[in-house]
Amino acid sequence: DIQMTQSPSSLSASIGDRVTITCRASQSIINYLNWYQQTSGKAPKLLIYAASSLQSGVPSRFSGSGYGTDFTLTISSLQPEDFATYFCQQSYISPWTFGQGTKVEIK
Amino acid sequence: QITLKESGPTLVKPTQTLTLTCTFSGFSLSTSGVGVGWIRQPPGKALQWLALIFWDDDKRYSPSLRSRLTITKDTSQNQVVLTMTNMDPVDTATYYCAHGHYDLGRFDYWGQGTLVTVSS
């Protein structure tokens, strides 16, 4: 299986901060990388697919970048509704593995 | 509008077989490129991809659970069924089904999830 490693595991930030989350794959996954947001008790929501494509309806403050093994999710200006857990997922090779998650908390 | 909903038992005993049904609307599983997957999440833990079935009946499974999982589809009923044998307390989790794409492999619509507890 391809291992997906996210960093940090958690972070504290303030409203308006720029937040960056990193995801590293154990081998090249080209650009087959998706990002999801999960708020407490809810199902995950797709934010970014193919490393940098914004899912329809997702605010433009979310962006993704990367290629090969290293990827980044950036929130340009953190909003109250963005406090959640974020997961990356590779879909290059089955099984489509997820990272362990990054929890974004209020400072 | 695409919706998915999971159904099945909320409590199973160890060694029993779990059968979960995903009933969906707003798309057809006979459409090229479409798939439905199952993902689970133990309480407080990360997401774990379990299985996926595509429009052409191509099936993919998590290698670590392959011997215990079976995924099937009923296109006419708009349902996907996942069975997991020999349930154990470590299988306690919220189980989600999700609409997926063969191309680029994203899950863009998810069910609300169903919590399954394994306990005697």
Residue B120 CA to residue B103 CA, distance in Å, equals 42
Phi/psi of residue A20, nearest 5 degrees: -130, 130
Q: Tell me whether residue A53 is exposed, middle or buried, using C-beta atoms within 10 angstroms of its C-beta: 0 to 12, 13 to 18, 19 or more.
A: middle
Q: What is the pLDDT of residue B93?
A: 98
pLDDT of B103 reads 83
**Confidence grade of residue A41 (pLDDT, cut at 50, 70, 90):** confident
A34 to B107: CB separation less than 8 angstroms, yes or no: yes
Sort out which chain A residues have CB atoms less than 8 A from B60's CB and list them: 94-95
Predicted confidence (pLDDT) per residue in B55-114, tens digit: 999 999 999 999 999 999 999 999 999 999 999 999 999 999 999 988 878 999 999 999
Q: Which residues contact B114 (CB under 8 A, 6 or more apart)?
A: B6, B7, B8, B10, B20, B94, B95
Percent of chain A with pLDDT over 90: 95
Chain B residue numbers touching A101 (CB-CB < 8 A):
46-47
Give the pLDDT mean for A83-105.
96
Q: How confident is the model over B50-69, as pLDDT tens digits?
A: 999 999 999 999 999 999 99
Q: What is the pLDDT of residue B20?
A: 98
Q: For chain A, which residues lie within 8 Å of any Cβ of chain B, measuring from their own Cβ?
A: 1, 32, 34, 36, 43-46, 49-50, 55, 87, 89, 91-92, 94-101
**C-alpha R_g of chain A:** 13
**Which pLDDT score is estimated for B102?**
85
Please report which confidence band the pLDDT of residue A61 belongs to, taking 50, 70 and 90 as the band edges. very high
- A95–B111 CB contact, under 8 Å: no
The model's confidence at residue A82, banded by pLDDT at 50, 70 and 90, is very high
Distance CA B95, CA B48 (A): 9
